[in-house]
Amino acid sequence: MKLSLYVVSDSLGETGEQVVKACLSQFHVEDYEINRFSYVLNIEVLHEILIKASQEEKAILIYTLVNPEFIEYVKNYTKDSKLIAVDLLSPLINSIREVSGLSPMGEPGIIRRLDQAYFSRVEAIEFAVKYDDGKDPRGVLKADVVIIGISRTSKTPLSMYLANKNLKVANIPLVPESIPPRELDKVSKKRIIGLTNSPVKLIEIREERLRSLGLPKGSSYSSMQRILDEIEYAERIMKKIGCPIIDVSNKAIEETADIIISHLKKSGVKILPD
């Protein structure tokens, strides 16, 4: 005769179902059925599930409920019936409460929200990598924020930092020899941030960059005139767009990121919690 397993949850019920499958794998049982009931949020629905499970000859009720009222209802119902009910969460929750001295929140679906925040962050990081340094200018159309600036203005590290705050960031290098991608014209100036740096700081950073690459110091890349030309070109582009311009010369990444997030919030851009 078929074994019926009823998984009841006030959230999605994935945890309960996975535990059931893990336990079933320890037995040579082939004739079984898992009935999952998600988002059970009122007593009437819970009562109907209990009645249905009770009518089965071989049934087990497995529940991952956090509402104390619902848990007590299941216990009272099964106390005078033959239905076997297994509470997966309460024993561990009670143990944590006893040892930690903390009180559980009793909110269903919290782990789901935590998982969603994690996956949103991973997605944002993958986005930042894919659309870093203008690799694919189409990314600016999908981005929460677009960072523009000349070389060595911290565009990439800032993009990665903001990605860890659940923001999808694309960054575009501004070079006098290249025209900014036309996709930039289709983005609201509220979502575009310009970065600049002091010429002296840029010389220092670029010379260090050349040294790390084993290249000679006298390259035009780190010359004062080249840097001044780049800054002038970039600021002309930024002023034309009308976006904020942040001087990063004396700012940590975290400080610049806070300025950007504050600007986005004031501009009405939705920011997910990190």
Residue 120 covered by a domain? yes
Whether residue 144 has pLDDT greater than 90: yes
Whether residues 10 and 99 share a domain: the answer is: yes
Q: Is residue 248 part of a domain?
A: yes
**Residue that terminates a domain, selected from 74, 108, 142:** 108
Report the binding-site residues.
149-156
Residue 162 structure tokens: 């903001």
127 and 59 in a common domain: no
Residues 103 and 164 in one domain: no
Are 102 and 167 within one domain? no
What's the pLDDT score for residue 236?
A: 96
- Do 172 and 102 reside in the same domain of the chain? no
Give the pLDDT score at 102. 80
Same domain, 92 and 159: no
Does residue 8 sit in the same domain as residue 96? yes
Per-residue pLDDT at 76? 93
Residues 129 and 75 in one domain: no
Contact 123, 81 (CB under 8 A): no
Q: Of 191, 196, 194, whose CA–CA distance to 244 is shortest?
A: 194
Q: Same structural domain for residues 14 and 121?
A: no
Considering only residues 30 and 151, tell me which one the structure prediction assigns the higher pLDDT.
151
Per-residue confidence (pLDDT) for residue 274, from 0 to 100: 54
Q: Is the pLDDT of residue 191 over 60?
A: yes
Q: What is the mean pLDDT of residues 126-146?
A: 94
8: domain range? 3-108
CATH number of the domain residue 102 falls in: 3.40.50
- Please identify, among 67, 92, 108, the residue that sits at the C-terminal boundary of a domain: 108
Residue 274 placed within a domain: no
Tell me, what's the pLDDT at 173? 97
How confident is the prediction for the chain on average, in pLDDT?
90
Whether residues 55 and 104 fall in one domain: yes
Determine the pLDDT at residue 113.
59
pLDDT of residue 82 exceeding 90: no
pLDDT band at 192 (very low <50, low <70, confident <90, very high): very high
User: Is residue 273 a part of any domain in this protein?
Assistant: no
Residue 9 has pLDDT above 60, yes or no: yes
The pLDDT confidence band at residue 193, using thresholds 50, 70 and 90, is very high
Domain boundary at 108, 133, 167, which?
Answer: 108
Does residue 232 lie within any of the structural domains? Answer: yes
> How many CA atoms are closer than 13 Å to the CA of 150, on its beta-carbon side?
29
Q: Residue range 202-206: average pLDDT?
A: 91
Neighbours of 165 (CB within 10 A): 18
Tell whether 201 and 96 lie within a shared domain.
Answer: no
Residue 271 lies in a domain: no
Confidence of residue 107 (pLDDT cuts 50, 70, 90): low
State the binding site for ADP: 149-156
Average pLDDT over residues 74-86: 91
Structural contact between residues 150 and 175, judged by C-beta atoms closer than 8 angstroms: yes
Query: What is the domain count for the chain?
Result: 2
Band of residue 230 on the pLDDT scale cut at 50, 70, 90: very high
Can you tell me the mean pLDDT for 255-273? 85
pLDDT value at residue 150: 96
The interaxial angle of helices 68-79 and 43-54, nearest 10 deg, is 30
Closest CA to 154 of 175, 135, 178, 171: 171
Distance CA 123, CA 171 (A): 16
**What are the beta bridge partners of residue 246?**
195
Per-residue pLDDT at 220: 87
pTM of the model: 0.62
Q: Looking at the domain assignment, is residue 272 inside a domain?
A: no
| 95 in the same domain as 71 | yes
